């Protein structure tokens, strides 16, 4: 593990420790409700290192958030009630618990600098509007595909902001 190594410059040791803290940061961001409280039953839960690494490196628009958040957390809570993993990024937005996933992604985007619950840039509000629009559209063709495509495209700008922040020099 990186934190077990001894570096000549103490800065590298601090950075290695920060990588471990990223899992805690992302988990806390996902599990906090709007009041900043994590349920007692979830206080010891953690999302996977692989999911966190993918989010940090790639952004949250290119990872399967349904499998990384809902499926993995429910597997820890109760294997019997955990939903089946989804195979594609578009499919994650057409599941039974997609509205809940939108709230999780909104929390995650907020932790990385995007507005939370905002009517303009908040993701959960956007998801609700897309869902209502497609439900009101008569005879919508391939509704699941369009819902998935709109939701994935909505995450691009927020995720791009995150990637730019990581690559930019400090202010």
pLDDT digits (tens, 9 = 90+) for 78-94: 878 888 999 999 999 99
DSSP class of 39: -
Q: pLDDT band at 47, cuts 50/70/90?
A: confident
5 within domain boundaries: no
Q: pLDDT band at 7, cuts 50/70/90?
A: very low
The pLDDT of 4-30, averaged and rounded, is 68
Q: What percentage of the chain carries pLDDT values higher than 90? A: 20
DSSP class of 119: T
pLDDT value of residue 112: 78
pLDDT value of residue 34: 80
156 within domain boundaries: yes
Helices (H), 60-97: 65, 72-77
pLDDT above 70 for 67: yes
pTM given for the model: 0.80
User: Which residues lie closer than 8 Å to 147 by C-beta, 6 or more apart?
Assistant: 90, 93, 94, 130, 131, 134
117, containing H or E segment: none
Average pLDDT, the chain: 81
Number of domains present in the structure of the chain: 1
The pLDDT of 24-31, averaged and rounded, is 89
1 within domain boundaries: no
Backbone angles phi, psi at 63, to 5 degrees: -115, 155
2 within domain boundaries: no
The pLDDT of 101-107, averaged and rounded, is 91
| Nearest to 56, CA basis, from 165, 169, 168 | 165
4 within domain boundaries: no
Give the Cα separation of 126 and 124 in Å (integer).
5
3 within domain boundaries: no
The tokens for 19 are 């990588």
pLDDT value of residue 146: 87
pLDDT value of residue 35: 85
pLDDT value of residue 144: 84
The pLDDT of 25-41, averaged and rounded, is 87
35 within domain boundaries: yes
Q: Which domain holds residue 31?
A: 10-167
């Amino acid at each position: 593990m990186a934190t077990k190594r001894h570096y000549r410059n103490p800065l590298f040791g601090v950075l290695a420790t920060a990588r471990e803290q990223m899992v805690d940061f992302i988990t806390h961001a996902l599990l906090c409700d709007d009041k900043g409280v994590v349920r007692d039953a979830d206080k010891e839960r953690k999302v996977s290192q692989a999911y966190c690494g993918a989010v940090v490196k790639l952004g949250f628009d290119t990872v399967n958030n349904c499998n990384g958040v809902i499926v993995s957390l429910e597997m820890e809570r109760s294997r019997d009630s955990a939903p089946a993993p989804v195979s594609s990024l578009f499919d994650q937005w057409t599941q039974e618990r997609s509205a809940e996933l939108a709230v999780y992604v909104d929390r995650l985007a907020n932790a990385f600098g995007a507005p939370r619950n905002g009517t303009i840039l908040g993701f959960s509000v956007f998801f609700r509007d897309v869902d209502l629009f497609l439900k009101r559209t008569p005879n919508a063709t391939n509704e699941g595909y369009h819902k998935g495509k709109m939701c994935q495209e909505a995450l691009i700008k927020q995720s791009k902001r995150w990637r730019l922040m990581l690559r930019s020099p400090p202010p």
